[in-house]
């Protein structure tokens, strides 16, 4: 699914903001997440202890360029992450607005082009804009990660029809909903639309019980995927009786 790697789990989990390393470890296990995202800045602030924890978890690491606001900053951070974590994977974030944390589409495409040309396997955090998606694929990306809502907002899928169109347009591209998911029901909804995976952090890390919440999200993601594969019924404008008229008792 992701650059030749087919994960068993469709739940990608972030590692920032947990009450303790022990709770983080338990949450990752409860989520059954094979891929975890790590900010280079967080790793640098925690030192070797955090790196040791990652090695114990035996998960695939997806470093990210969180907090970067320019092409130069994002590219430099990506090179540092590749050296530190020994992986070509990079979750590319180039923030364009400090309030909404919306990505800068122009800088994002430019940074993606530079990194893909140098052998990175880029996971771009983008909006549900079809043109931006096309440009990212032209730049060399093989995965797209549209947001559901602003990072950490918990608003869920703010533009369902836009995301539905994004899924239909890029039907053969792995798509991951990244950012804005705040409840398991929202994650299930995204999977029901046909998205391939969910990436989130805050909704688990800031829950009263992060471990239980991680498990809840894991179950919701599996349920949403199963529902999509089973085929959801079409919505109707009017009621439709499930009991046939034929065979009903006749009264005169």
Does the annotation count 206 as an active-site position?
no
Does residue 140 have a known ligand-binding role?
Answer: no
* Displacement of CA 153 from its chain's centroid (Å): 14
Question: Per the annotation, does 179 bind a ligand?
Answer: yes
Sequence-ordered list of residues with C-beta below 8 angstroms from that of 170, at least 6 positions apart, any chain: 133, 137, 144
Of 34, 85, 33, give the one whose Cα is nearest residue 64: 85
227 labeled binding residue: no
**Per annotation, catalytic residue among 72, 91, 171, 206:** 91
Which helix (H) or strand (E) segment is 98 a member of? Answer: none
Specify whether the CB–CB gap between 156 and 149 falls below 8 A: yes
DSSP labels, 122-169: EEEEE-S-HHHHHHHHHHT-S-BEE-SSSTT-----S-HHHHHHHHHH
Q: Which helix (H) or strand (E) holds 223?
A: helix 210-230
Question: Is residue 133 part of an annotated ligand binding site?
Answer: no
Q: Distance between CA atoms of 218 and 216, rounded to whole angstroms?
A: 5
58 is in an annotated binding site: no
Token output for 199:
């990436």
Question: Residue 196 and residue 225: Cα distance in Å, rounded?
Answer: 8
Cβ neighbours of residue 121 closer than 8 Å, sequence gap 6 or more = 2, 3, 88, 89, 90, 142
* Angle, vertex CA 192, rays to CA 122 and CA 200, nearest 5: 45
Active centre residues (catalytic) = 91
Bind-site residues for 1-deoxy-D-xylulose 5-phosphate: 152, 179-180, 201-202
Bind-site residues: 152, 179-180, 201-202
């Amino acid at each position: 699914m992701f650059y030749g790697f087919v994960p068993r789990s469709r739940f990608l989990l972030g590692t920032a903001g947990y009450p303790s390393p022990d709770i983080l470890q338990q949450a990752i296990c409860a989520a059954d997440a094979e891929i975890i995202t790590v900010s280079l800045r967080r790793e640098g602030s925690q030192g070797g202890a955090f790196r040791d924890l990652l090695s114990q978890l035996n998960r695939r690491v997806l470093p990210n360029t969180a907090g970067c606001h320019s092409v130069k900053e994002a590219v430099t951070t990506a090179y540092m992450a590749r050296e530190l974590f020994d992986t070509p994977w990079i979750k590319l974030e180039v923030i364009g607005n400090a309030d909404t944390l919306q990505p800068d589409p122009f800088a994002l495409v430019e940074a993606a082009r530079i990194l893909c040309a140098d052998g990175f396997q880029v996971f771009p955090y983008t909006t549900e804009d079809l043109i931006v998606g096309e440009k990212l694929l032209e730049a060399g990306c093989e995965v797209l990660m549209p947001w559901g809502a602003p990072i950490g907002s918990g608003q869920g899928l703010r533009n369902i029809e836009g995301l539905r169109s994004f899924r239909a347009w890029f039907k053969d591209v792995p798509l991951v909903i990244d950012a804005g998911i705040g409840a398991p029901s929202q994650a299930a909804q995204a999977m029901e639309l046909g998205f391939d995976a969910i990436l989130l952090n805050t909704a688990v890390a800031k829950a009263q019980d992060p471990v239980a919440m991680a498990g809840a999200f894991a179950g919701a993601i599996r349920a949403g995927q199963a529902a999509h594969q089973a085929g959801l019924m079409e919505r109707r404008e009017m009621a439709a009786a499930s009991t046939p008229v034929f065979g009903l008792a006749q009264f005169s």
